Structure 1
Amino acid sequence: MKATLNRGLKLSMAAMLIPSLLIGCTGGANPSGSTAATGDAKKAADPVKLEKVRVSLWDRSNSPSGEKLTDSLLVKWIKENAKKEGLDVEYVTLPRSQESEKNSTWMASGESPDILITYDLNAMFKWAEQGGLWELDTLLDKYGPDIKKLIKPALDSAGTYKGKRYAIPAMRMSTAVGPSMKIRQDWLDKLNMKAPTTLDELYTVLKAFKEKDPGGVGKDNVVPWAIPAINQGMKAFFYGPMWGAGVAMDGPKTEVYMPTGNYTDGVFHSAVDLPEGKAFFAFMNKLYREGLLSKEFVTDVNSQQYQQHYTSGTAGFIDSNNPVWEMTVETRKTVPTATWVTVEPFKRPNGTQLTSLESQFGLLNLIPKSTKNPEAAVKFLNFLAKNVAVVQSGLEGTHYKVDNGVRTVIDPAKNVKEIDWYFNDLNLLTQGYMGPPTKEQILQINAADPKKEEIAKLMDPYYRMFEKYGKSYPVFDTQRKVAEKNGVNITKYLYEKLSKVIIVPNFDQEWDALVAGWEKNGGREYDKEVTENLKSINWKTTNK
């Protein structure tokens, strides 16, 4: 299910057959049987020399069977079929949670893969300004015709700096994707309660989960709201709840997984510099002290405890990227009656309901200057464009079939084992396959699943929520030098301190210390620069 839900109808099936590489022929025959003729014949028989290209690949350590990522089915398919176009592909893995650190190290050392992947626009601006990236306009025109056809809207949206292209962005097939709040409907039903619509109502529901133990797991085992450690690799967030507290997404998307801040009266303030931000974390501190949050979340740096909480059936509320159907399936392995449902955005202090809507582009493909053959890197991305169906859905006839223009999974269990845990990370040019599907399309996509009716019932509200309440965040197109200088330190600092303010007994004192440290790390200068950028793009606040 996870592999198919975010895919699009408008994208036609890419050709699966790859043209054979033409081998150069010799000139006219030499009837004398000379050495030259023999040499020409030998040359024609030699295999083509392959162009090496090293490609970044996130390793999420999520193989269901312990299979090595680089030995997976589709990785092997790509490597074998790329050879037919003269490319020798080597995947270079990096832990997803170490993206920023690893990319910076690679760029500084000159040892980067030929295709570097990131979501960080500012990093692209910085490296382009420093001369660390290849300009791609001419290369894209010459070697990327299929790329340009496939992702034109994304190319029009991002990837340039000072009028020159330095990144090939992946195109989001649907902007109606992202984190969402989920809650155990079976628990609500047992308590005769409705899903919360405000933070205050959330507190009441979490309190009831803890005190009345609707799941029968034992009061000491109930985790009303499951969260992992607050770090770059976290798998659960604060987006929905913080929107509900009145914090908006008026700043640039960052690695701090929460709404960035508010742009009010022409001035941007980061979340930690807002009374709404303080009120939210005071709320979290209250929840923690009353046992309504994961007790040891600070040490759960790999999100293993968090995952155990919801899969074992002890958790009641979560804000995460996990689709509700996927979570329901996982939890039902332990609790057959478990059902997770999407929670609509909370009503904010001003009465509005909002959630973050993704931009038209996502992942950025960069080619560092250390790459000796940038042509081969663009050729590889063009190879992916020609075979985009494979990295969107697997192999036709094996993992999916096409019915009325929609790809439907043949055997969900087979896909879970063979491709679902990694294939989206091989897809460097599109994110998803279709726009937000209708309920009827969800049924068709999951035609082979006996639970298709329930899947549609649970997933349809998720897509409709983004259509109804989604607001885009700002995208800047210029270098931000303060962010380059201080951004990493600010992010690292906030990860450390936000956990502390949640668990300490003296919240106000610790919050004041957090803000003082944020200022010391350049927070005020950061916000001033964001303000200038928002004015330059005539940004209108999402805080309404």
Structure 2
Amino acid sequence: MKGRMTKGLLLGLALILVMISLAACSGNKNKDSGASPAENSTGSSGSEQPGKLEKVRVSLWDRSNSPSGQKLGDTIIVKKLQEEAKKEGLDVEYVILPRSQESEKNSVWMASGEGPDIIITYDVNAVFKWAEQGGLWELDDLLDQYGPDIKSMIGPALDVAGKYKGKRYAIPAMRMSTAAGANMKIRQDWLDKLDMKAPTTLDELYNVLKAFKEQDPGGVGKDNVIPWALPAISQGMKGFFFGPMWGAGVATDGPSSEMYMPSGNFTDGVFHSPVVLEEGKEYFRFMNKLYKEGLISREFVTDVNSQQYLQHYMSGVAGFLESNEDPWMMTKETRKTVPTATWVTVDPFIRPNGTQAITEANLYGLFNLVPKSSKNPAAAVKYLNFLAKNIKLVQGGIEGVHYKEENGLFITIDPAKNAEEIDWYFKDLNLITQGYMGNPNKEQLKTLYMNEPNADEIADILDPYYKAYENYGKQVPLIDTPRPVSEKSIANITKFLYDALSKAIIAKDFDAEWEKVVSGWKKNGGEAYDAEVTESLVQMNWKTTNE
């Protein structure tokens, strides 16, 4: 706590702060009350009287998925958490809201000042907006004072997320495994029949795709072979360009966008979107070549619901793709039609500078926020610290009842019991971590799939998948400064590029069509967008993911 105050002065300031905070949550631009949250807690414990429980109200999502109609507030882990929290001096009330109403309800709470002490969201833009409006408590001092277990458990996530303009307004949940997101996969059984190895560069990918087309290793008929299964490239589709474009030398130095491809390169202090990079142009020239030679799905432009793409890989006629499924999941699906099919991970392509990279999931997940309407922000941070100290309870349930630890894993004791008692909700109680372990090694994978007859094969398929993220994973920058140009133009830019890039891929005259891509991007505010990203990356001292 910064400084010493008398009790009368402290209580007087607290009353003033409550009045100011209510106005701030209604849109008042008074962003700072002049005192830190720690100074506004009532005493070192945050409670008015020694031994008195501190009330803390916490958001809890209801997914309406109870298998027996049980009320979420009456479940075994909720009751256990409330019981254990009392030992820490906290009286916990869970404020239950339908998961589908999270965004709407959070907005109402922030405007009315009637929300719980902890609200949760995945929407980082909402965090920034509320911080800018002065509707959130700054948490740096509170985290230092009341969150030692939080800091020791999720330090890496705190390093990259939760701040706005250099001040902390959110405590992020940390993803325990970042092995998630776009990854390239190929049919190993097809490679084996052709006595070929998985490609390591875009040039090698071309040779493999051409061999798939011409030699039909799956025996599906040359006219039916889809060397590279690809749906429409608009938002929400199943196909991505991350891996291949990384291989062309395009990086992910810009913010996440609605385009399922790398965002661009930050070179010599300047950010460039892919459409103005020579590497970006040459990548789409490569795709144009594949299209002309029948090496990608011929009608991908019209496959706006991914149905054709799904049919291609699940029926066994596709040989290569990039998606966010893991290779074992895809193998299981394809084996329903082709029992010998085996999808495996393709390691990131070697880029022109000799490096390799894959875009991994962010280290952070949901955000825990303390609205200014909270009268005791210290209690909110204490609750999150309590969760960190009791993390296994919300990671696996009650040890000896719901799980046992083996080889670093939580092994379910009675799946039917867990399905009834905890599986449908308890992970939503975990506001500190998402998951409970990092990337599993091969022996752990065998343990995880020990009830499967082919556990060893599954481990062999999944081990390289996890290792790719461990060895080559790159994080996307999280820009924590306002970007008004982006807010105004990003929707138009991405909408334009969905159409323009598709036309470039199928164009008879690629160079003429590419000129339209670049000119249209400029007309939609692309240059101003890049300039704004440049300014933000410079302020962040960002380097590059292209190393």
Residue aligning to 1:521: 524
Residue aligning to 2:268: 265
157-166 vs 396-405, which moves further? 396-405
Q: Is the 8 A contact 1:409 1:446 kept in 2?
A: no
Gapped runs of 5+ residues in structure 2? 1-54, 83-91
Find 2:324's aligned residue among 321, 326, 346.
Answer: 321
Per-residue deviation, 1:285: 2.6
313-322 vs 161-170, which moves further? 161-170
Alignment CA distance shift 1:270-1:144 (3 Å): same
1:353 equivalenced with 2:353 (yes/no): no
Secondary structure in 2 aligned to 1:486?
helix
Write the deviation string for residues 485-518 of structure 1: whole angstroms up to 9, x where unpaired: 3334333433343333333444333332222222
Find 1:431's aligned residue among 430, 434, 450.
Answer: 434
Alignment CA distance shift 1:139-1:350 (3 Å): closer
TM score, norm. by length of structure 2: 0.73
Residue aligning to 2:65: 71
Q: Is the 8 A contact 1:408 1:448 kept in 2?
A: no
Q: Is the 8 A contact 1:82 1:89 kept in 2?
A: no
Secondary structure in 1 aligned to 2:272?
strand
Secondary structure in 2 aligned to 1:230?
coil
Structure 2 CA distance for aligned equivalents of residues 290 and 147 of structure 1: 55
Q: Which has the higher contact order (CA 8 A, sep 6+)?
A: 1
Q: Counterparts of 1:212-361 in structure 2 under 5 Å?
A: 212-361=215-364
Write the deviation string for residues 448-506 of structure 1: whole angstroms up to 9, x where unpaired: 33322112211222232233333444343333332233334333433343333333444
Alignment CA distance shift 1:211-1:263 (3 Å): same
Per-residue deviation, 1:56: 5.8
Q: Is the 8 A contact 1:55 1:91 kept in 2?
A: yes
Per-residue deviation, 1:238: 1.0
Structure 1 CA distance for aligned equivalents of residues 155 and 70 of structure 2: 29
Structure 1 CA distance for aligned equivalents of residues 281 and 421 of structure 2: 45
Secondary structure in 2 aligned to 1:71?
coil
Structure 1 CA distance for aligned equivalents of residues 354 and 329 of structure 2: 31
Per-residue deviation, 1:247: 0.5
Write the deviation string for residues 135-186 of structure 1: whole angstroms up to 9, x where unpaired: 5568878997875664344234321224543222121223454322110100
1:90 equivalenced with 2:96 (yes/no): yes
User: Identity over aligned residues, as a percent?
Assistant: 64
Residue aligning to 1:31: none
Write the deviation string for residues 178-197 of structure 1: whole angstroms up to 9, x where unpaired: 32211010011122221111
Alignment CA distance shift 1:413-1:224 (3 Å): farther
Alignment CA distance shift 1:340-1:129 (3 Å): same
Structure 2 CA distance for aligned equivalents of residues 368 and 496 of structure 1: 41
Write the deviation string for residues 371-403 of structure 1: whole angstroms up to 9, x where unpaired: 999999879867865775466457767875421
Secondary structure in 1 aligned to 2:64?
helix
Q: Is the 8 A contact 1:107 1:132 kept in 2?
A: no
Q: Is the 8 A contact 1:55 1:89 kept in 2?
A: yes
Residue aligning to 1:24: none
Q: Is the 8 A contact 1:54 1:92 kept in 2?
A: no
180-189 vs 157-166, which moves further? 157-166
Structure 2 CA distance for aligned equivalents of residues 128 and 162 of structure 1: 9
Q: Is the 8 A contact 1:107 1:368 kept in 2?
A: no
Find 1:117's aligned residue among 115, 121, 142.
Answer: 121
448-457 vs 375-384, which moves further? 375-384
Residue aligning to 1:202: 205
Give the counterpart letter for 1:442 in structure 2. L
Per-residue deviation, 1:314: 2.3
307-316 vs 189-198, which moves further? 307-316
Q: Is the 8 A contact 1:110 1:370 kept in 2?
A: no
Structure 1 CA distance for aligned equivalents of residues 158 and 409 of structure 2: 25
CA RMSD of aligned residues (A): 4.2
1:180 equivalenced with 2:177 (yes/no): no
Alignment CA distance shift 1:76-1:133 (3 Å): farther
Q: Counterparts of 1:376-455 in structure 2 under 5 Å?
A: 388-389=391-392, 392=395, 400-408=403-411, 428-455=431-458
Per-residue deviation, 1:273: 1.5
436-445 vs 415-424, which moves further? 415-424
Give the counterpart letter for 1:82 in structure 2. V
398-407 vs 313-322, which moves further? 398-407
